Structure 1
């Protein structure tokens, strides 16, 4: 669609002898229509975010190496000790499917990254991060100065 300036439209309407009151209302409406909306201003691109698991280690029991982890959810009424069994059950079920027979999962990492959410849901576990995230250690103290 061709764009035309409001002034040219006003001149064309004036040549066609429109009443001044109607001409003024039309020009005002056109000026309002061409004003940019304040909500349409170009917003800065969204910042990509990542999950981080912060591990409290005040007694310095964990080794000094980097770790990776996955963020999962299980029902609140269940013990967290059952999480690995839930992943194993989902992996066994997945490996019996056609896709699982072609590309079986052998580790917890493979299972979390490759098994669809539906299979995990049947085992009452929900994967929040399919890719591993870095685990940071802290001594759980805020420095005084």
Structure 2
């Protein structure tokens, strides 16, 4: 049903030559009813699911510590096991591959899955890919070097 503003209702009631007391009473009832419906809708809403980020790193040669590498950023619910992220992505890829578009353009690698599988398939598995294009991952020893006092 279309939403109608209170001002429009007021104009319609006024144009029908109703008494001002009746108009005010009707408008007050409409506002109370709208507030009650908004409150009920707010109470029925599910709380948002907290999510965590996961980095999926591409290391096809098994040389992770020695070379630069690329990866994709994914997001999963906070209480899910991080180890199941790849399984979820693979299941979403299988579902995509049996769809009409997937039969025409099937995905065969994790990179293709991150790029081509639609949000509908990923959402069913509880995963979201945040970077469709792989990003470069930088290595660090997690230390800030001391500042030399040569200033």
State the TM bucket, normalised to the shorter chain.
0.5 to 0.7
Alpha-carbon distance between aligned partners in 1 of 2:79 and 2:97, rounded to the nearest angstrom: 28
Once residues 111 and 64 of structure 2 are traced to their aligned partners in structure 1, the CA distance between those partners, rounded to angstroms, is 21
Root-mean-square deviation (CA), in Å? 1.8
Superposed counterparts of 1:1-145, under 5 Å: 62-145=64-147
Query: What CA distance in whole angstroms lies between the structure 1 residues aligned with 2:105 and 2:75?
Result: 25
- Matched length: 87
Shift of 1:64: 2.5
Distance 1:127 1:138 in 2: 24
User: Highest Rg: 1 or 2?
Assistant: 1
Q: CA deviation at 1:91?
A: 0.4
SS at match of 1:121: helix
Which runs of at least 4 in structure 1 moved beyond 4 Å after TM superposition?
none
Q: Secondary structure at the match of 1:69?
A: strand
Q: Which has the higher contact order (CA 8 A, sep 6+)?
A: 1
Q: TM-score, normalised by structure 2?
A: 0.55
CA distance in 2, matches of 1:116, 1:62: 29
Q: Which runs of 5+ in 1 are unaligned?
A: 1-52, 56-60
